[in-house]
Every structure is written in C-alpha cells, then in structure tokens.
C-alpha cells in the first residue's frame, strides 16, 4: 500500500480496536483543498510510519490485509484496501462523542481521526485522472440535499476549508445554507443574514431534496425510510459539524 500523494502522516492505529483495523491517516496541506487520505484494514504497517512523518507520493505505508475486529471480521478471501479521500468534520469531535448516550462506556480510541469524523468522497474523481485539482473535483459533485443551520458559533469546518464558502460573510452570518452531496459531504456553504427567509426556528432543518437522489439518500440514511425527514446519518453529520457550539 502506497501513499496516494505528498503529505504528512497524521495518525497511525496499529491495533485491532475498531472496524478499520490497522489504519493510517495522512493529511495533505499542499493540495488545493487540504484533504486527508485513509488506508485501512492493513495487515502490517511499516515501522518507520509515525505521526509527523512527511512523505512523498508513492511511498510504502504497509501491506494490504483484512484486519478489523471480531464483531466486523473480514474473511481472508475478502482482503482489500479501504481507501478514502475526504475532509475532517470537526476539531471538536470529542465534545459530540462525549454527549452521545450511545457512546457512554465506549471510549473514543482514535481522537479526531475516528471514522465518524471523517467524511470521504468518491476517490475515482481523483484516481481516474493523471492530474486532478482536488478542489475542482469536490466542487464537481452534484448537490443532493440542503439544510439550513443556525449554530451559536461558525463551524470550524468552514475555517478549515474556506474555499467551500460560496457566499456570505464568516464574521456576520446569522446562519448557513449548506449543500450536501448524496454521500453526505457538505460541499457548499452560504452565509445567511439575520432575517433571511430560509432561517427557521431551531438549530437546523432540512431545506430541500433533489428527487433524483432521494432513493440513494434513503439508502445511505441521509433521509428517513419514507424519504420525508432527516435520517440518522444526516443528523449525526450536522451534530458533529456544529460540535463547537456545544
């Protein structure tokens, strides 16, 4: 398994303590958008791979495998690399994790590099081309649904990825109109002024859905089973994105 592009090792998990098994996360600050790449289910990790190590693209990270946990065991015959390119939802992920009743008694062993805080997009947008602008690839994804949120603080997602701001002002926005891909990636943010008709009571609300994506959104639990309300995945995404308002 090789590094996909130039970057810095951000996290190494050599233990079998989660569904990803042994995995590595790299950050790529010099990309057009500072994405992460993730390499999971590894059989082994190179001993020199440690957080903070700068690597060029094409460097050996480890060996493909089928590592996971007993609860999510992967047969040897299905050994594969789980590869992601994506964005970090929140630096305050731990605040969300600690507040969730379902997580009580189960410590977060991966910090901000917990899989619930990592939102990947279709890697073929990058892998299918010899040279690709990451930001352009992300913006090329179609919008599947939109929400309106009014958190007490600007989500740190926006300060980390300001290139995804489509309009409005970070300093004065009273709320946000946020466009999501069908996979659950918040790909477009527009700041809303106080009094904007799109702002509704409450911390956030589902604003609209494109009909062509409704079946996929239901399948991914971005929408409820009847397709008329927010599903558990979308609720979790928004709650994590606004974790710095807790």
Tokens 């994590």 belong to which residue? 240
The mean pLDDT of 172-182, rounded to a whole number, is 96
| Single pTM value for the model | 0.93
Q: Coil, strand, or helix at residue 46? A: coil
> In the prediction, which pLDDT does 128 show?
66
How would residue 130 be classed by pLDDT, with cut points 50, 70 and 90?
A: low
Sequential DSSP letters for 2-66? B-SSSEEEEEEE-S--STT-EEEEEE-TTSSS--EEEEEEEEEE-TT--TT-EE-TT-B-EEEB-
With 90 as the cut, is the pLDDT of residue 64 above it? yes
pLDDT tens by residue, 26-56: 999 999 999 999 999 999 999 999 999 999 9
Q: How far apart are CA 211 and CA 195, in angstroms?
A: 28
With 70 as the cut, is the pLDDT of residue 74 above it? yes
Q: How far apart are CA 41 and CA 63, in angstroms?
A: 9
Q: How far apart are CA 154 and CA 163, in angstroms?
A: 15
User: How many other C-beta atoms lie within 10 A of the C-beta of residue 102?
Assistant: 7
Summary count for the chain: helices (H), strands (E): 6, 12
> Which region holds residue 21: left if phi is over 0, alpha if psi is between -120 and 50, else beta?
left
Poorest-pLDDT segment among 8-22, 126-140, 179-193, 204-218:
126-140
């Amino acid at each position: 398994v090789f590094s996909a592009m130039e970057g810095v090792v951000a996290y190494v998990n050599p233990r079998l303590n989660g569904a990803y098994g042994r995995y590595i996360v790299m950050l790529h600050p010099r990309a057009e958008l500072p994405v992460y790449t993730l390499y999971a289910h590894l059989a082994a990790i190179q001993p020199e791979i440690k957080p903070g190590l700068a690597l060029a693209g094409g460097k050996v990270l480890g060996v493909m495998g089928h590592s996971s946990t007993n609860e999510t065991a992967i047969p040897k015959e299905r050994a594969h690399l789980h590869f992601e390119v994506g964005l970090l939802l929140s630096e305050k992920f731990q605040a969300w994790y600690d507040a969730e009743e379902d997580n009580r008694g189960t410590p977060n062993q991966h910090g901000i590099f917990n899989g619930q805080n990592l939102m990947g997009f279709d890697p073929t947008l990058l892998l299918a081309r010899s040279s690709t602008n990451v930001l352009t690839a992300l913006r090329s994804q179609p919008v599947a649904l939109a929400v309106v949120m009014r958190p007490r603080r600007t989500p740190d997602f926006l300060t980390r990825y300001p290139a995804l701001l489509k309009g409005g002002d970070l300093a004065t926005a009273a709320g946000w109109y946020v466009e999501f891909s069908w996979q659950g990636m918040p790909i477009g943010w527009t700041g809303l002024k106080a009094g904007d008709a799109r702002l509704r009571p409450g911390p956030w609300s589902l604003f609209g859905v494109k009909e062509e994506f409704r079946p996929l959104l239901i399948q991914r639990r971005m929408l409820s089973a009847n397709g008329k309300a927010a599903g558990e995945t979308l609720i979790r995404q928004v709650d994590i994105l606004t974790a710095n308002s807790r």
